[in-house]
Amino acid sequence: MKITRDCAVYFRYNLAPAGETLEAPVDDDPVLSYLHGQGQIVPGLEAALEGHEAGDSFNVEVSADQAYGPRDESRIERVEREAFAGVKSLRKGALVQVSDESGKPALARVLALDTREVELDMNHPYAGMDLAFSVVVVEVRPATEQELAEKSVSN
């Protein structure tokens, strides 16, 4: 079966910034599942998967605007250091879990810190980057009514 809208798709992948050498995914790599056509993975990868079927393997480069979007400098924020009072491993470059504007958990990278403030980059780590994917399609099947209603693939 070929991948089309509302298919349940299972695949393995490796990811790197465009231009870096990728190894093909191997059988013990985790399998990612999603509902095709529902916007659950980056748009450029979803478009590249369209029409493929189980057993297919391919490489694709996805531009930043079709991956995690451009970097947005307005997403650099300063937070009072006391908000991280219980975090022992706080250091420049560390990823920390925070809440985004809507209160949902998000990851941020620590850009700088001093005794009063922590400067955080709320952009996705791959924002602004063209990405290379090496993909192996593991399984494709029609999604169930329940999966479509819940917008989630059963494993």
* Predicted pLDDT at 57: 96
In angstroms, the CA 98 to CA 87 distance is 12
In angstroms, the CA 38 to CA 14 distance is 22
In angstroms, the CA 67 to CA 148 distance is 24
DSSP 49: H
Are residue 32 and residue 80 in the same domain, yes or no?
no
pTM of the model: 0.83
The overall longest dimension of the chain from CA atoms, in Å, is 58
**In the chain, % of residues over pLDDT 70:** 100
Give the model confidence (pLDDT) of 31-82 as tens digits: 999 999 999 999 999 999 999 999 999 999 999 999 999 999 999 999 999 9
Indicate the pLDDT class of residue 137, thresholds 50, 70 and 90: very high
Residues of the domain holding 39: 7-68+127-150
Minimal CA–CA distance to 11: which of 61, 44, 58?
58
Residue 2 lies in a domain: no
Residue 42 lies in a domain: yes
Using DSSP's 3-state secondary structure scheme, residue 47 falls into helix
Q: Indicate the number of domains in the chain.
A: 2
Residue 93 lies in a domain: yes
